[in-house]
Amino acid sequence: MNIFLFIHLIALGIWAGCVLTEVMLELVLEKLPPESSNLARLHAMIDRFVEIPAILLVAITGGMLLQSAYWDTLLQVKVGLGVTAVFLNTVAAFTVQRRYQSLLSGNEQGYDFWNLWHERTGIGCVLSITGAIVVGGYRLVGAG
Dump pLDDT digits (tens) for 112-131: 999 999 999 999 999 999 99
Dump pLDDT digits (tens) for 27-46: 999 899 999 999 999 999 99
| Domain with 49 in it | 3-142
Q: How far is CA 93 from the centre of its chain?
A: 8
How many structural domains is the chain composed of? 1
Give the global pTM: 0.92
**DSSP one-letter code for 107:** -
For the residues of 56-99, what is the DSSP string, one character each?
Answer: HHHHHHHHHHHTT----HHHHHHHHHHHHHHHHHHHHHHHHHHH
What span, in angstroms and rounded, lies between the C-alpha atoms of 128 and 124?
6
